[in-house]
Amino acid sequence: MTQRNPNLAKLHATYLFAEIARRKQQFLQENPDARLISLGIGDTTSPIPQHIVEGFHHAATCLGDEATYTGYEEAFGRFELRKRIANKLYHSMVEAEEVYISDGSKCDIARLQLLFGTDASVAVQDPSYPAYVGSSVIAGKTGSFNPDTEQYEKIVYMACTKENGFFPDLSTTPRADIIYFCSPNNPTGETPTRQQLEELVAFTKKNRSILIFDTAYSTFIQDSDSVHSIYEIEGAREVAIETSSFSKMIGFTGVRLGWTVVPKELRYDDGTAVADDWKRILSTCFNGASNIAQIGGIAALDPEGIEASRHLINAYMENAKVLREAVELKGYTCYGGVHAPYIWVDLNGKKSWDAFDEFLYDAHIVSTPGAGFGPSGEGFLRLSAFGKKEDIQEAAKRIKTVLQEKVSS
């Protein structure tokens, strides 16, 4: 008589990355000798810089020594790490006590759902990183999936298209309690301007909504004018939570380390501090990020670590440039790839799953179809710039030669 969570039944039958894996498997069965190059899932490929690896070694050695062994970490993360994030990454725009260490942004995105009831309404950029929608569905904040619109009921999809410069038209956007926003954006790779983010904060404030701002790719921003954190925008501390991650910054995808900032000023409608509930949720549902990862994170935020991170990111951004050039040489327009490791290829009207199959079968390249990120992603293909330099160069060659006639039309 024990029933399934009815919200799980609402989940769209084909989960994006599972469907990609299925098609890839099928291709490999038919073509066992093909040398596939993955420009699909955004997974880091460069080794972690030695300075940070030394941090891991130090942490491991301490754990093996009677005098330096530690058990459970400090609540909400090692204070030295919280302090460095506040000082080095936020230039003291936030306090160390407002930084809560996690095992990664995706996990925090799911936990953040618990701050709000099932009645809360959700807005997402369309296209967007699938975890915002997926965790909202599981948490019971949505209606059913409508196969005609490719949308879940009760979710506000804020279309981000080439026509609006990938920033939603807020003048026609309905109010939602929670607004998920990712900048630089995954999957489009586009970064909103300061003025656009001022509009977003004003919109959130006017609607008395709460903004959940995801900056997992902010260290990829190449100029100092662009906004790295929502707290650079006046008034953001009263309306925004920011979640971010070491994953892409320094190759920690498998190491698992991230954080979420909940400013002291942020309150619910009844005046309760959101941070108090966040602490309660973390205490009940979480037990901290791995101490070894945290000590690595501390090393990543000293001058040597920050310098190493810059090198790592520059190499990925070189990849992005190579891919962009290959795509543009074929006459295609693409977006992103300048302040983010994703290139968003405009397919000139072709369906994104068709283009995915062509890339797979004709160029032996795994990509991600734009439609997987939401209905406004149809007609686009996401190429990830994570990869070894030689693989990216080979991929660029394949894009330039094999796909010439196929994709253009």
Binders of a copy of itself among 334-393, rule CB under 8 A? 386
* Cα distance between residue 391 and residue 84, in whole Å: 35
368 sits in which H/E element: strand 368-369
Binders of a copy of itself among 199-228, rule CB under 8 A? 207-210
- Please say which residue, 128 or 209, places its beta carbon nearer to a copy of itself: 209
**Does residue 24 interact with a copy of itself by CB under 8 A?**
no
Token pair for 278: 């966040």
Q: What is the full DSSP assignment across 162-207? A: TTTTTS--GGGPPP-SEEEEESS-TTT-----HHHHHHHHHHHHHT
Shortest separation between residue 152's beta carbon and a copy of itself, angstroms: 13
- Please say which residue, 109 or 403, places its beta carbon nearer to a copy of itself: 109
User: Which of residues 10, 19, 23, 43 is near a copy of itself by CB under 8 A?
Assistant: 43
- Please say which residue, 374 or 379, places its beta carbon nearer to a copy of itself: 374
**Does residue 48 interact with a copy of itself by CB under 8 A?**
yes
Torsion of CA 351, 179, 99, 130, to 10 degrees: -20
* Cα distance between residue 306 and residue 298, in whole Å: 10
Shortest separation between residue 333's beta carbon and a copy of itself, angstroms: 29
Shortest separation between residue 164's beta carbon and a copy of itself, angstroms: 25
* Cα distance between residue 320 and residue 325, in whole Å: 9
- Please say which residue, 104 or 379, places its beta carbon nearer to a copy of itself: 104
- Please say which residue, 288 or 379, places its beta carbon nearer to a copy of itself: 288
* Cα distance between residue 314 and residue 308, in whole Å: 10
Binding residues for a copy of itself, total number by CB under 8 A: 89
Q: What is the full DSSP assignment across 294-328? A: HHHHHHHTSHHHHHHHHHHHHHHHHHHHHHHHHHH
**In this structure, how many other beta carbons lie within 10 angstroms of the beta carbon of residue 389?**
14
Residue 257 in contact with residue 289, Cβ under 8 Å?
yes
Shortest separation between residue 133's beta carbon and a copy of itself, angstroms: 9
User: Which of residues 37, 39, 40, 44 is near a copy of itself by CB under 8 A?
Assistant: 44
Shortest separation between residue 130's beta carbon and a copy of itself, angstroms: 8
Binders of a copy of itself among 225-284, rule CB under 8 A? 251, 253-256, 268-270, 272, 274, 277, 280-281, 283-284
Shortest separation between residue 67's beta carbon and a copy of itself, angstroms: 9
Strands 37-38 and 151-152: unpaired
Shortest separation between residue 156's beta carbon and a copy of itself, angstroms: 14
Strands 122-126 and 155-159: parallel
User: Which of residues 10, 19, 28, 63 is near a copy of itself by CB under 8 A?
Assistant: 63
**Does residue 25 interact with a copy of itself by CB under 8 A?**
no
- Please say which residue, 81 or 334, places its beta carbon nearer to a copy of itself: 81
**Of 130, 112, 106, 261, nearest in space to 186 by CA:** 130
Q: What is the full DSSP assignment across 202-267? A: HHHHHTT-EEEEE-TTGGG--SSSS-SSGGGSTTGGGTEEEEEESHHHHT-TTT--EEEE--TT-B
Token pair for 315: 């190499």
Which listed range, 42-50, 87-95, 214-222, 311-319, lies at the site for a copy of itself (CB under 8 A)? Answer: 42-50
Strand partners, 393: none
Binders of a copy of itself among 284-313, rule CB under 8 A? 284-293
Binders of a copy of itself among 87-146, rule CB under 8 A? 103-104, 106-107, 109-110, 114-120, 130-131, 134-135, 138-140
CB-based burial label for 261 (10 Å; 0-12, 13-18, 19+): buried
- Please say which residue, 17 or 194, places its beta carbon nearer to a copy of itself: 17
Shortest separation between residue 92's beta carbon and a copy of itself, angstroms: 27
Shortest separation between residue 332's beta carbon and a copy of itself, angstroms: 28
Token pair for 145: 């999936």
